[in-house]
Structure 1
Amino acid sequence: MKKIFSAFALAVAFVASSMPVFAAVELETRAFIDVTTTDASGAQVTKLEQAERVQPGQEVVFIISYRNTGEKPAENLVVNNRVPNGMVYVAESAQGEDARIEVSVDGKGFGALETLQVTEADGSMRAALASDVVALRWTLQGAVAPGASGSVRYRAVLK
């Protein structure tokens, strides 16, 4: 049986937290795939296209856009994003300009991947791997001005 996920199934839960009460921030998560075509000169061009269907082994780019719709700067903005079930985070793919990026292997504690550990079924501990990541967190450095927007992103592969 083939696994095929629709764009709807790739919806990702995200939360903006640690913002002052007066800040109003809109968040939107979209899923894309890389599509390579050949242009008129024969050069290969890769661009992102909205993910309609994803096959096992295919890489998806999740882009979380934020925009301050309030009248005050949004300070201490934190964007949390769970890796969708059935997807595996691609190591070092998280990006966010002027953001501290951390990952979680349990959905609770966050840190740099190389500092995290996973408890095995037998109780032993091992270093966390990218495939253990279940959530990502971007902490934006500095305030997001009224009307300003930006985005963060990461890649994951469908199992």
Structure 2
Amino acid sequence: MSILRGFIGIAVIIGIAFLFSSNKKKINWRQVGIGLLIQLVFAFLILNDKLNEYIPVGQFFEFIGRIFTKVIGFTQEGTNFLFASFGGGEIESPLLNFAIIILPTVIFFSALTSLFYYWGILQKVVWAFAWIMKRLMKLSGAESLAAAGNIFLGQTEA
């Protein structure tokens, strides 16, 4: 039932996007289909336990997830070091969550992204994803670069 709910959710989102489209005739359904197919392939590779015995795709993403969890842990340790004096103070919970947990994480990942950009790692990864999208989905260079950049940086920074 949960798989069916996921497919219904995807259909509803595509339906809403179709309804609010200003030019319904110009929708390239091939691109939509290939984009969905890429997502389904990733989901199959990551979630299929029997396949992961032979091709460790799920283990790879778990490894990447552990790296990011460790990096977020570094952020927490740095935050604890900086704001340890606030621990016994009178800070309200929403402000505490924003100032002591969210904001340092955003600053840390911004610095980490800048470091990856300086080393040239980010450009290579974004270029690789853009190249794949350009070939599979027949996007223009600008479209694929913007989409690949949004994966790693978000719309504002990309």
* TM-score, normalised via structure 2 length: 0.21
Rg bigger for which structure? 2
Higher fraction of strand: 1
Q: Which has the higher contact order (CA 8 A, sep 6+)?
A: 1
